[in-house]
């Protein structure tokens, strides 16, 4: 089986990994790096459970080949908390009751992080638009939107 060697930065750590050339970034993260917070819901770009930030932009890791991550900076859900403190969006998801089974949560949180980076005070319509690629089968989205609004207020007043 052909192999590819990729150097990338994941959650602040630059690493060089040799892996199967056909492997996706999703399975490079899960199998090669043990970062199981990035989920596989559909493997075909429909559900957003595999969302990570690549150079600051949300991408479906199931649609990115490992080789395409060469030289890129990746943030997964494991990379959000710092100094033992959850990210404001993680705290807001917990406080707002925005998590039920949790399978969609890492992807939703990372999409929301990217949204608040580019639009610190989003309208509800902007939040809904930013989440169109992230499906949740449990919550009905109301608490997720409330969580993102709460986090935006917290960051705004920090």
Q: Which is nearer to ligand FES, 62 or 75 (CB)?
A: 62
Q: Which of 47, 28, 25, 51 is nearest to 38 (CA)?
A: 51
Options 103, 119, 126, 154; binder of ligand FES; rule CB under 6 A: 103
Tokens 């992080």 -> residue? 113
Tokens 């493997």 -> residue? 43
3 state SS of 152: helix
CA angle 30, 90, 157 (to 5 degrees): 145
| Residue window 115-144: x/- pattern of binding to ligand FES, with contact defined by CB under 6 A | ---------------------xxxx-----
Nearest distance from C-beta of residue 37 to ligand FES, angstroms = 13
* 146 belongs to the binding site for ligand FES (CB under 6 A): no
Q: Which is nearer to ligand FES, 131 or 150 (CB)?
A: 131
Q: Which of 35, 34, 2 is nearest to 19 (CA)?
A: 2
Q: Which of 24, 16, 25 is nearest to 55 (CA)?
A: 25
Q: Which is nearer to ligand FES, 25 or 157 (CB)?
A: 25
| Residue window 68-97: x/- pattern of binding to ligand FES, with contact defined by CB under 6 A | ------------------------------
| DSSP-derived secondary structure letter, 44 | S
Options 33, 47, 92, 152; binder of ligand FES; rule CB under 6 A: 47
Distance CA(127)–CA(120), nearest Å, equals 11
State which of positions 12-41 bind ligand FES (CB under 6 A).
Answer: 40-41
Distance CA(62)–CA(38), nearest Å, equals 10
* 45 belongs to the binding site for ligand FES (CB under 6 A): yes
Chain contacts with ligand FES (rule: CB under 6 A): 40-43, 45-50, 60, 62, 99-104, 136-139
């Amino acid at each position: 089986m052909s192999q590819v060697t990729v150097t990338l930065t994941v959650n602040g750590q630059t690493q060089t990994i040799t892996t199967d050339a056909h492997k996706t970034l999703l399975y490079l993260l899960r199998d090669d790096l043990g970062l199981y917070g990035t989920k596989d819901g559909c493997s075909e770009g429909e559900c957003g459970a595999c969302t990570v930030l690549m150079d600051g932009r949300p991408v479906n890791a199931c649609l990115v080949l490992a080789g395409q991550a060469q030289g890129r900076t990746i943030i997964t859900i494991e990379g959000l908390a710092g100094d033992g403190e959850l990210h404001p969006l993680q705290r807001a998801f917990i406080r707002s009751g925005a998590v039920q089974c949790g399978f969609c949560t890492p992807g939703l949180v990372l999409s929301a992080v990217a949204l608040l980076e580019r639009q610190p005070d989003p309208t509800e319509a902007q939040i809904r638009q930013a989440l169109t690629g992230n499906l949740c089968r449990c919550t009905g989205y109301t608490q997720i939107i409330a969580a993102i609004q709460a986090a935006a207020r917290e960051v705004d007043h920090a």
